Structure 1
Amino acid sequence: MEKFSSFRDPGTGIQASACTPFLTPVPPHEHDLFVTILTPIRAVVAVTRTAVIVVLVSIHFVLVHVVGFICRPVPPLKDVISWLGTALLARLALYVIGFWSMPTELIVRKRGKTPENKWNPRAGDLIVSNWTSWIEVLWLAYKYNPLFVLPVANAPTTSSAKNASSISYTPGRKTGTGSAAISSFDRVLISPEVIRGFRQVSLLEMISSTGKIPSASSSVPLRSLDDIRRSARRPVVVFPECTTSNGRGLLRFADVFDGASVPTKGYSIFLMCVRYDPPTPSQPSLSHSVPGATLNPLRHLLQICTSLSPQSISIRQLPLSESPSSQLFLVNEVVHEPRSDMLAEVCAVLIARMGKIKRVGFGWEDKYAFLDFYRGRR
């Protein structure tokens, strides 16, 4: 993994088997005879499961987009069809993949305090989470049938990827060995780009966008997050990282809330954190940080469907009474210095604490450089 050394986070030292928060974690390099023997069976199971998922996706498209469009003159009927079609089919898809049970855990920040009732996001509320895979997108659709939004921003202008590739592939003894040349490279993190706005997307488009970075779409009218929230008839899901990581660290949150006040007024903030178990020889990684070139994330779906054991997911949620929307919330207890987007910083701190995840200095802008380098060297 030396060629990706320039994408290690200098603040946390996150590297391990995946030396960057963008690379997909890989299982230990150990030979498992039992897994090898079961390879033909696993392949058949994966193809069968994937075929079932494709059928469920087709049914979802017909119900939500075709029938829903026909019922558009009757909004309540359209909402019921969308909710039933999304919740039922999303749960069936998760079950087929192997998620038979998906328990959630309420995390209380203050010791000795009893957790309150389960979440109940309403229309116009925001659900804020880290982003590791398309699986949590499917889970959110099943649980809350929310609206999904994607940020829109200009591509970062940087030569970091070119510098990384030239140094990582420079053999010999210019400054010692090739490894020494890599380790001596001092990479500067890319400056944050301004989020120009958001666009509302369907569940299928949100899933297919997993792992990708914000694009500067000109064909779709942009709206502010607050504008989308005000007109929404369902909760709105926001991923402030703006792209997926491999789950080893929490990426830098973009300024997505446009200077919203803390505590928030007029709507509630629901914070959650998602984590997956490390991969094993029989269980591929559930995180999806590198998107597929075509039909994303079909290849990743095939990989995780090879598992013959139940899948597991860790979902931790913060009680509403301790979220940034609580009128008793004290910002100084979480963030000690003023930030351009205080709400984004507060959410980042709380999500990192909930999931016990280290925050890294990399943002989606750095992933732009990483993907450019990764694809150029394959």
Structure 2
Amino acid sequence: MEKFSAYRDPGTGIQPFLRPIPPSGSEWIATAISPIGYAIGAVKTVLLLALALVYLVVVQSVCLVFSPIPPLHRSVTYLFTALLSRIALLLVGLYWIPVEVVQRKRGRTAPAQESWNPRAGDLIVSNWASWVEVLWLAFRFNPIFVLPVCETLEVPSPTKGASSPITRTPGRRTGTGSAAISSPSARTPTTRIPIVGFRRVSLLSMIASTGRLPISEDSTTSKAETIESIRSKADRPVVVFPECTTSNGRALLRFAEVFGDVKLPVMKYKVFVMCVRYDPPTAFSPTLSHSIASNFLNPLGHIFKLASTEFLTGGTYADPLAECCAALMAQIGRIKRVGLGWEDKVSFLKLYRGKSRI
């Protein structure tokens, strides 16, 4: 996809937006068994839509009768959310999801393994590559999901030779060997657009927002809240995706300044850093990442693809907390960071949608 080479990170050579494609080979076998997969996928997709309807009726409607008793309401909604989310993961072929807890210190002086148990008011900070991790988080913690609200989606196009707003470009730039990446059409990093706040959303809304861009301030009637405002009133953990949109899972996008001037170390609550990694696609199993939203009933098309297969596997900074989380996430997930952010995805999608219509 040379036409999208301008959206390849110059420091690492990684294209973080396009869907990963499987290597060539064995396509004829996959094509031969595809009718069976499509039939199974159709049945599973109908069942998944039925689960979504059950969630809408039971969790977001019937369970409201328990609202006068908050502890009971939390327990009942958690029970149904966990059950329905786990069934949904099973239906798309995710029978087992391996989880590895990485200790901050290693060696003889390392403390006993810390429990990964976010509580009310704690933050879960994660990269974002699919709706799968949204379902997994709902299954494990029934957290509060939030979507970023930005000032505008009118991102100015960067010009060659323009000064970069970023003082640090992640990745190697040695000029030799595999790091000698020539990209004459590489774009300079796009100017940052401020994130003015966040909006609480339901589980189904969060899933439907996978692959989309942040909400523009002028397109929403509800007032955006700060993370601290949402967190301080939360009766559950709060999930934050600082990339503000999904990548294809090959690298971490540039984190937006979502936490403001929160000082380190954080004292009033705990911050749990999570990194999601997906296996590359094969001829028999599509990628679990979902970087580009569907135009119709997002992400139903991607759900059908997964349901049709049985072979799935599981310094000084303006925002110091976001930078700290990004560094930890890249370290524990052994994943590279790129200088491209959600602002770059705005212009990428304009090019992608335009090319798709040709």
On whether the aligned pair clears a TM of 0.5, the verdict is yes
Letter in 1 for 2:143: P
The yes-or-no answer on 1:157 pairing with 2:155 is: yes
Q: Partner of 1:274: helix, strand, or coil? A: coil
Q: Percent of aligned pairs with the same residue?
A: 49
Deviations 1:84-126 (A, max 9, x none): 1100100111111111111211112433136514311110000
In 1, Cα distance between equivalents of 2:112 and 2:281: 31
Q: Partner of 1:340: helix, strand, or coil? A: coil
Contact 1:129/1:239 (CA < 8 Å) preserved in 2? yes
By how many angstroms is 1:127 displaced? 0.3
In 2, Cα distance between equivalents of 1:285 and 1:103: 17
By how many angstroms is 1:183 displaced? 4.9
Equivalent position of 1:370 in the other structure: 348
Deviations 1:22-74 (A, max 9, x none): 00101112243332221111111111111111111111111111112333333
Letter in 2 for 1:150: L
Equivalent position of 1:312 in the other structure: 313
Equivalent position of 2:65 in the other structure: 70
The yes-or-no answer on 1:142 pairing with 2:143 is: no
Measured at CA, do residues 157 and 32 of structure 1 come closer, stay the same or move farther in structure 2, by a change above 3 Å?
Answer: closer
Q: Partner of 2:60: helix, strand, or coil? A: helix
By how many angstroms is 1:220 displaced? 1.0
Contact 1:107/1:115 (CA < 8 Å) preserved in 2? no
Measured at CA, do residues 296 and 160 of structure 1 come closer, stay the same or move farther in structure 2, by a change above 3 Å?
Answer: farther
In 2, Cα distance between equivalents of 1:136 and 1:250: 15
By how many angstroms is 1:82 displaced? 1.2
Equivalent position of 1:9 in the other structure: 9
In 1, Cα distance between equivalents of 2:102 and 2:112: 7
Measured at CA, do residues 186 and 38 of structure 1 come closer, stay the same or move farther in structure 2, by a change above 3 Å?
Answer: closer
Equivalent position of 1:169 in the other structure: none
By how many angstroms is 1:209 displaced? 0.3
User: 4+ runs of 1 displaced by more than 6 Å?
Assistant: none
Contact 1:156/1:365 (CA < 8 Å) preserved in 2? no
Compare 93-102 and 65-74 and name the one that shifted more.
Answer: 65-74
Contact 1:156/1:193 (CA < 8 Å) preserved in 2? no
Deviations 1:240-267 (A, max 9, x none): 0000000111000111111101110110
Q: Within 5 Å, which residues of 2 pair with 1:154-233?
A: 154-159=152-157, 183-216=183-216, 217-233=219-235
Contact 2:103/2:113 (CA < 8 Å) preserved in 1? no
Equivalent position of 1:361 in the other structure: 339
Letter in 1 for 2:196: R
Please point out which of 126, 129, 146 is paired with 1:129. 126
Measured at CA, do residues 361 and 73 of structure 1 come closer, stay the same or move farther in structure 2, by a change above 3 Å?
Answer: same
Name structure 1 gaps, 5 residues minimum. 15-19, 162-181, 314-336
Name structure 2 gaps, 5 residues minimum. 160-181
Measured at CA, do residues 242 and 357 of structure 1 come closer, stay the same or move farther in structure 2, by a change above 3 Å?
Answer: same
In 2, Cα distance between equivalents of 1:33 and 1:372: 34
The yes-or-no answer on 1:281 pairing with 2:283 is: yes
In 2, Cα distance between equivalents of 1:286 and 1:354: 20
Letter in 1 for 2:100: E
In 2, Cα distance between equivalents of 1:297 and 1:160: 30
In 2, Cα distance between equivalents of 1:183 and 1:202: 41
Contact 2:155/2:191 (CA < 8 Å) preserved in 1? no
Deviations 1:127-155 (A, max 9, x none): 00100000000000000010000110021
Equivalent position of 1:116 in the other structure: 113
In 1, Cα distance between equivalents of 2:193 and 2:155: 9
Contact 1:160/1:369 (CA < 8 Å) preserved in 2? no
Contact 1:152/1:197 (CA < 8 Å) preserved in 2? yes
Letter in 1 for 2:269: Y
The yes-or-no answer on 1:50 pairing with 2:45 is: yes
Contact 1:63/1:81 (CA < 8 Å) preserved in 2? no
Contact 2:158/2:191 (CA < 8 Å) preserved in 1? no
Contact 2:157/2:190 (CA < 8 Å) preserved in 1? no
Deviations 1:201-247 (A, max 9, x none): 00000000001111224311211100000000000000000000001
Equivalent position of 2:89 in the other structure: 94
Compare 87-96 and 216-225 and name the one that shifted more.
Answer: 216-225
Please point out which of 24, 29, 35 is paired with 1:29. 24
With the length of structure 1 as denominator, give the TM-score of the two structures: 0.84
In 1, Cα distance between equivalents of 2:254 and 2:27: 38
Measured at CA, do residues 107 and 300 of structure 1 come closer, stay the same or move farther in structure 2, by a change above 3 Å?
Answer: same
Measured at CA, do residues 115 and 52 of structure 1 come closer, stay the same or move farther in structure 2, by a change above 3 Å?
Answer: farther
The yes-or-no answer on 1:40 pairing with 2:42 is: no
Letter in 1 for 2:125: V
In 2, Cα distance between equivalents of 1:77 and 1:213: 35
Q: Partner of 2:215: helix, strand, or coil? A: coil
Q: Partner of 1:275: helix, strand, or coil? A: coil
Equivalent position of 2:321 in the other structure: 343
Equivalent position of 1:178 in the other structure: none
